[in-house]
Amino acid sequence: MNLLNRPRRLRTSDSLRKMVRETRISKESLIYPLFAVDGEGIVEEIPSMEGQYRYSVDRLSVIMDRLMEAGVEKILLFGIPAHKDGYGSQAYDENGIIQRAVRYIREYYPSVYVITDVCMCEYTSHGHCGILDGEYVDNDKTLEYLNRIALSHVRAGAHMVAPSDMMDGRIGAMRQALDEAGFETVPVMAYSAKYASAFYGPFREAAGSAPAFGDRKSYQMDYHNRKEALKEVKLDIEEGADIVMVKPALSYLDIIREVADRHDLPVAAYSVSGEYAMIKAAAKAGHIDEEKVMCESAVSIYRAGADILITYYAMELAGCMDQGKIG
């Protein structure tokens, strides 16, 4: 047959396929979510997230050494305090769990880039992401507390802050607070399109952050909505976000693509706990090849337009890059 165009010509060898590959990923774009917990001598596996652990500050070296060996040098830090109250006061305490963990990592692992999650749900007795007025989260009052948290993280040594609360106006308020305190060079990675998702279930167990009543649908996004996500991203960019994020990742690849096409800021995607747990469970049952599905899922997120991937599989993906299985 006389065919002028034969796309298969560029698929005839592994070397050629890699040369013409459209989507490329690297270790530098991976961020590992890390849970620090109050206490001592703690390395505690999270039951719903096989292979993921909570670490007390004195045992952070266990995971940090593994990350360094894998070549993953960016973390997103979450804190689990011993004490919770209605105002999440441990979130902005200079000796809180995040603040101590940041100082430890900065001292003993200076090459690591430390990003901190700025939210209140892990720290409040009611499990909501802000200050309550009755059973409603008071948006504007919450902003004051989020600013306190962000400033305390940066003063402890955080390189970047990542507000995940989904309060209106929090990026602009936080940018102003950081600038006025002399931290104008500290970037803000905004959880811009964060959906009210069932995929967060294992994380809420890991962080002890499930709401004591109701849900978060009055501030996290309705998963039916696409245009709203684009509006939220646009607002965050206008308020000074340096990086925008879509969360979760796999069920929202269309949103990642649209955000990447419309804006020139870096786009992060968070492959959340439920995505990780599903792959783990299916692999354990023998239904899928864990490594291959992990790699394919990660590439799909980058292919959709993500520049940065936050994933519990960061170390495993880095290993696959070293072995030439992905990249």
- Taking the alpha carbons at both ends of the chain, their separation in whole angstroms is 35
Quote the CA–CA distance of 272 and 133 in Å, as a whole number: 30
Closest CA to 76 of 39, 110, 122, 113: 113
Phi, psi of 134 (to 5 degrees): 70, -115
Count H helices, E strands: the chain? 11, 12
Q: Which residues of 298-315 are buried (b: 16+ CB within 10 A; e: fewer)?
A: bbbbbebbbebbbbbbbb
Report the C-alpha gap between 50 and 168 in whole angstroms. Answer: 35
283 exposure class (CB count in 10 Å sphere: 0-12, 13-18, 19+): middle
Of 74, 84, 194, 280, catalytic: 194
Q: Is 247 a catalytic residue?
A: yes
Q: How big is the chain, counted in residues? A: 327
Q: Are 310 and 33 in contact (CB under 8 A)?
A: yes
Query: What distance in Å separates the CA atoms of residue 309 and residue 304, rounded to the nearest whole number?
Result: 12
Amino acid at site 180:
E
Q: Known catalytic residue: 325?
A: no
Compute the distance between CA of residue 47 and CA of residue 67 in angstroms, rounded to an integer.
21
Catalytic residue (one of 74, 84, 247, 280): 247
- Residue positions annotated with a catalytic role: 194, 247
